[in-house]
């Protein structure tokens, strides 16, 4: 009768069985990682949509602001004695500065660093570390 100390020390499965399990678990892990990457990239695409909408709204507001400001402020500056071309130039510079600030805010949200699937990268590195430990 075998002693209790030796029981469970050796895996009763054969090498082909172990390799089959390894392949099955590896493919399952890859499928899970792909699913995580898809989910995270979906979130990132949503962020891009929000940033693009912000840029679109900024563009529409810039156009409306240009029309209104060129008419109202330029007319006001002319009443202060400025030449019409000088009043128009001043108004155009102010509108351009506002537009630049809005555009930079939208572009900042679309930086490549914000689009990296951070959780997936972290999970893959954890899986690689666990796999290395299992091999040892």
Q: pLDDT (tens digit, 9 = 90+) per residue, 4-46?
A: 444 555 668 788 888 888 888 888 888 888 888 888 888 888 8
- Of 94, 38, 31, 25, the closest CA to residue 66 belongs to 94
In a domain, 9, yes or no: no
In a domain, 61, yes or no: yes
- The SS3 of residue 2 is coil
In a domain, 116, yes or no: yes
- Structural domain including 68 reads 15-135
Per-residue tokens: 5: 């100390």
pTM of the model: 0.40
**Confidence check: pLDDT of 124 > 70:** yes
In a domain, 4, yes or no: no
**Confidence check: pLDDT of 69 > 80:** no
pLDDT score recorded for residue 1 = 45
Total structural domains in the chain? 1
**Confidence check: pLDDT of 127 > 70:** yes
In a domain, 43, yes or no: yes
The tens digit of pLDDT for each residue in 102-118 reads 999 888 877 766 667 77
In a domain, 87, yes or no: yes
In a domain, 7, yes or no: no
In a domain, 128, yes or no: yes
Quick one: 15 exposed, middle or buried, by C-beta within 10 A (0-12, 13-18, 19+)?
exposed
């Amino acid at each position: 009768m075998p002693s209790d100390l030796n029981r469970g020390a050796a895996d009763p499965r054969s090498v082909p069985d172990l390799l089959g399990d390894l392949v099955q678990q590896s493919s399952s892990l890859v499928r899970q990682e792909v699913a995580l990457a898809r989910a995270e990239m979906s979130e990132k695409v949503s962020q891009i949509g929000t940033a693009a909408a912000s840029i679109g709204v900024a563009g529409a507001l810039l156009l409306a602001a240009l029309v209104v400001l060129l008419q109202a402020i330029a007319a006001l500056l002319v009443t202060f004695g400025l030449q019409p071309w000088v009043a128009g130039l001043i108004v155009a510079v102010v509108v351009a500065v506002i537009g630049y600030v809005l555009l930079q805010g939208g572009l900042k949200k679309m930086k490549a660093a914000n689009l990296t699937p951070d959780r997936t990268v972290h999970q893959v590195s954890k899986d690689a570390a666990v796999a290395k430990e299992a091999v040892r």
